[in-house]
Structure 1
Amino acid sequence: MNGELGIWLVRPASEALAERLRQQLGGVLYRPWQQSGQPQQALFAQAYRQHRQWLMLAASGIAVRFLDGLSHDKHSDPAVVVIDEAGRFAVSLLAGHEGGANRLAYRAANVLGAVPVITTATEALKPLVVGIGCRKGVGVAQISAAVQQALGLRAIIEIRELVTIDLKAQEQGLLEFCQHYDLPLRVLASETVAAREWLTQPSEWVQQNIGLAGVCEPCALIASPRGRLIVPKTALAGVAVAIVEDTLA
């Protein structure tokens, strides 16, 4: 294989997005228009099994046509995530759970500020979205204790995703918590959170230190716009947690 990740561009217009993804996630970029004489679909078929995962910058219809006849088994098929050329959505299209396309969709979405689109029942039917904010350097034990306190009698297995802001995207304790419980971490731009005034408990400390009135509540509500805030901001040992339940799940 030529590396874990392949990035397929259908048109030169996607170059900037593709390069941004490559810089953050690694991978091999494919520019099929540079190879004359063969249609793109045939070129993709030749390259398809050279990588375990793919990001395809294209319309979903194009991706479906390119994949026609290539998929055999969800346990061995390469994962495919489709990203629209405006960089608004990252759609887990093939091998979502087993092949890792769901997690790849989150990783790509976090790079671009896009919305991850997950449709596999294993993840999509989980009703809880947890917004989280924390002070710098908090450990995984502190985060776990705060989340468990907020959940009360609910279970971690009901959590669909954790959501935080870009300033906290690399907090080691948060990353370790997500890895331990196999939970995706969705990252929102601070500007996106600042534009939403969905707060029951504005924080003077957060406002002074990061320029936002709050983190956990708006993060959870933005990530689940049809949901209901069932646990307003609750804080424990430098970690703030809010929980939204998807009312249509």
Structure 2
Amino acid sequence: MNRRTLKIWAVTERGAHQGQRLCAALGGDLCLPDKPWVSGFPKARIVPSLREGIAGGFHGADGHVFIMAAGIVVRMIAPLLKSKAQDPAVVVMDEAGRFAVSLVSGHIGGANRLAEEAAAAVGAVPVITTATDTHGIPSVDGVVSERGLVVENPSAIKTVNMALLEKRKPLLWDPMGIYADMADSYAPAGERAAADVVVDCSSAPAKEGALVIRPRRVTVGVGCNRGTDVEEILEVMGKAFEAGNLSHLCLKAVASIDVKADEEGILKAAERLGVPLSFYTKDQLSGTEGVVTPSAAALKHVGTVSVCEAAAIQSANMGPLVVPKVKGKNVTAALAMASSTS
């Protein structure tokens, strides 16, 4: 499972030993109740209240493994669930280590894969109950999770998955070829407006009921005056997406010049958007091909004729510029298109 954070929860000493094995194999934090036997687990995080501990950290982790009865878990997490697009992976394992059950967010959250990994780590049997998996069919949300894509309207997933289960080929609009290896499951749409599934970065509306999937391929390069507020930076970024008729869900990364590495507005913008932030030297930016609006002012102040356009291209691994420099009062932004989501 491609995760950032994993929490493993146990309520008994035997379960804690299983959790320790999982931590060794998968990483993550072992979370235990405040009981006399926890002294044998010095690296564990002690939670005085299981319910409060889970509630406080549920959406802060990408995955959870609960080594306890499924009924306890269901009652604990039920009030915390939001949607299949937002919830973390949840796996339940018995303390004997016999079964690892994918309980919540099997595909998008990666619980199915986490269950398989947890099972492999302790010699358990993974239990996967999602219909597409039991029939050996690649589900929409499973493919989305594996390929680093974003679903714009998760409510439409069910309709497409049902079509796949019934061996009906949904019409697919995929100009980037992201689903090129899935010709057995989808039929090509003659035009975007006719597609049941749209996979692109265009902000143009799809037909009613169509599933819209966004590849994270757009990088934004940013330049700004010192001390520019995060809201102004985000506003100009938004104008760049509007200028290119591109969905903001396709945002992959933010980039700028290295002298802005301590620029609070840029740092906060990337954090708020939840994407990586990278910085490039003036020499790297100066040698970037594809810049269309060089600036004498930028050359004078930071030593390169382009910041936002060059940074966007660099961040996209030299992918083409798709939106040239958009100017605000104190901010410039430009967009480039990477060739992959990785």
Change (3 A) 1:145 1:49: closer
CA-to-aligned-CA distance 1:1-46 (integer Å, 9 cap, x gap): xxxxxxxxxxxxxxxxxxxxxxxxxxxxxxxxxxxxxxxxxxx959
Give 2:148's match in structure 1, choosing from 104, 121, 135: 121
| Runs of 5+ consecutive residues of structure 1 not aligned to the other structure | 1-43, 52-72, 78-96, 99-118
Aligned partners of 1:199 and 1:214: how far apart in 2?
7
Q: Does structure 1 conserve the Cα–Cα contact (< 8 Å) formed by 2:283 and 2:304?
A: no
Q: Kindly provide the amino acid, as one letter, of the partner of residue 216 in structure 1.
A: C
Change (3 A) 1:143 1:74: closer
2:317 counterpart residue number? 225
Aligned partners of 1:247 and 1:196: how far apart in 2?
17
Change (3 A) 1:180 1:49: closer
| Rg comparison, structure with higher value | 2
Is residue 75 from structure 1 mapped to residue 102 from structure 2 by the alignment? no
Is residue 212 from structure 1 mapped to residue 304 from structure 2 by the alignment? yes
Aligned partners of 1:191 and 1:146: how far apart in 2?
25
Change (3 A) 1:122 1:212: same
Q: Does structure 2 conserve the Cα–Cα contact (< 8 Å) formed by 1:226 and 1:248?
A: no
Aligned partners of 2:302 and 2:312: how far apart in 1?
18
Aligned counterparts, 1:130-149, within 5 A: 130-149=220-239
SS at the partner of 2:279?
strand
Change (3 A) 1:226 1:193: closer
Is residue 239 from structure 1 mapped to residue 331 from structure 2 by the alignment? yes
Shift of the alpha carbon at 1:74?
Answer: 6.5
Aligned partners of 2:263 and 2:321: how far apart in 1?
25
Structure scoring higher RCO (CA < 8 A, sep ≥ 6) equals 1
Shift of the alpha carbon at 1:235?
Answer: 0.9
Q: Kindly provide the amino acid, as one letter, of the partner of residue 222 in structure 2.
A: I
Shift of the alpha carbon at 1:120?
Answer: 5.6
Q: Kindly provide the amino acid, as one letter, of the partner of residue 247 in structure 2.
A: A
Shift of the alpha carbon at 1:127?
Answer: 2.0
| Runs of 5+ consecutive residues of structure 2 not aligned to the other structure | 1-22, 31-60, 66-108, 111-145, 151-213
Aligned residue-pair number: 152
2:287 counterpart residue number? 195
Q: Kindly provide the amino acid, as one letter, of the partner of residue 121 in structure 1.
A: G
SS at the partner of 2:271?
helix
